Amino acid sequence: MSLLRDAWRHRPTHRRVWALAAPMILSNLSVPLVALVDSAVVGHLPHAHQLAAVAVGASLYTLLVWSVGFLRMGSTGFAAQAAGREDGGALRQVLLQGLLLGGGLALLLSLLALPLGSLALGLMQPSAQLDELARGYLQIRLLGLPAALASYALIGWLLGTQNARGPLAILLTTNLLNVALDLLFVLGLGWGVAGAAWASVLAEWSGALLGLYLAQRALSAYAGRIDWPALRRWASWRPLLAVNRDIFIRSLALQSVFFLVTVQGTRLGDATVAANALLLNGLLLTAHALDGLAHAVEALCGHALGAGDRQALRRNLLVAGAWSLLASLGFALFFLLAGHWFIALQTDIAAVRATALAYLPYLALLPLLTVWSYLLDGLFIGATRAREMRDAMLLALLPGLALGWALQPLGNHGLWLAFLAFMLLRSLSLGVYAYRLNRDDAWFGRPAQLRERPAD
């Protein structure tokens, strides 16, 4: 307790945490607000299958995009450590490698998305109307995939340099434009589900172009140049690819859980899958807000590790952790006391509202279970300790899936109970790995180097 008390009294740490967390919370909250607007706009169309189609199509697209979330997370950790060492050449290398990886992965995922999407829809066994609309939505959204992946790399890199205004500008531009185009295309022009997809595509490209401009400006503050001969050697890519590989496995496991929630909900009927989508929007709202503090942990702890500052590492983690706990309590109370308003805001379809309200208590519990995993993810990302993140996620996934299978007779209640158990196990497993690294004083072991040094 004395360590927490001493850290809490250190005002400069509070200022550093909130200087990064506040802009990231604002920008992160704009992401689930787009999903809320999509739900609210399409949810006021006359049929439940239209809302369900956006939920299913967006789930498939999100599975693709979030599975390569390592483009942001890997860039943040390496950029933060390079900034801590004041290594401008490494910062340029991390940015370029992230953009190149994003372009290659966008091409690969675009080729795989349609056949995999057809397979996924076959597993869901949706109604004919839902199937047609969801396929059309996904096909349009794929046009924005290169921009979405480029934005991941750009946001991660800017955050690693402790520039929170850049990500704020990118995400606010993308998501506010998405909202405006959503209203125009769906309600103004009557394009329906396809209009929601086109709004997202145009917004994603606008955000990526802005991000490129901001990154170019940010580089002027760091002296250095890219070591092009080293960049052409495999050794210079190995550390980044190794970290990204482990984060990919971790992200794929996490997204598979969300996907299975959608699959199982779809089998329980259109109203159930739509209601679950509305509730998961609440989780997204919570996650993106708390991730603002986790992003501050990534940048500040990564910088402290790069500079070899143990005291700063401890203070940043404790202060951000205390604020994260307070914020999670606030979200839990909000969903418990005002959850009915949150649901009503998203749809006026009576069957969907009634179904969502029945499962609202599960949503109120989620912030208290997930807050620790968000915070510790930030620490592991800043330390480029992706292997431990991967293993912790897999340890939570296996019993979570087993519990989900065992609780199938309980219907949607069983699905939510299994989901809560998975989130709890995820936090506990990360905590165990963090405890072991701290006990062994291994945080400063530097598991991955940012760049290859030229030979003497």
Residue 266 has pLDDT above 80, yes or no: no
Residue 340 belongs to some domain of the structure = yes
Decide if 352 contacts 40 (C-beta within 8 A).
no
In a domain, 36, yes or no: yes
Q: Is 453 domain-assigned?
A: no
Per the domain annotation, does 456 fall within a domain?
Answer: no
Domain-located, residue 206: yes
- Indicate whether 261 pLDDT > 70: yes
> Domain total for the chain?
1
Residue-range definition of the domain harbouring residue 256? 2-445
Average pLDDT of the chain is: 81
% helix, strand, coil for the chain, step of 5: 85, 0, 15
Whether 66 is in a domain gets the answer yes
CB under 8 A, 24+ apart: contacts of 102-110? 102/68, 102/71, 102/146, 102/149, 102/150, 102/152, 102/153, 103/146, 103/149, 103/150, 105/68, 105/71, 105/149, 106/145, 106/146, 106/148, 106/149, 106/150, 107/146, 109/64, 109/68, 109/145, 110/142, 110/145
* Residue 393 belongs to some domain of the structure: yes
Q: What confidence tens digit (pLDDT) does each residue in 341-388 have?
A: 988 887 778 888 888 898 999 999 999 999 999 999 989 988 888 889
pLDDT at 446: 54
Mean pLDDT of 52-58: 71
Residue 225's region, left for phi above 0, alpha for psi from -120 to 50, else beta, is beta
Between 34-48, 152-166, 243-257, 354-368, the lowest mean confidence (pLDDT) is in: 34-48
Higher pLDDT, 306 or 422: 422
146-190 residue pLDDT tens: 998 998 889 888 988 878 788 888 988 888 888 888 888 877 787
User: Quick one: pLDDT band at residue 401, thresholds 50, 70, 90?
Assistant: confident
Percent of the chain with pLDDT over 70: 87
Structural domain includes residue 208: yes
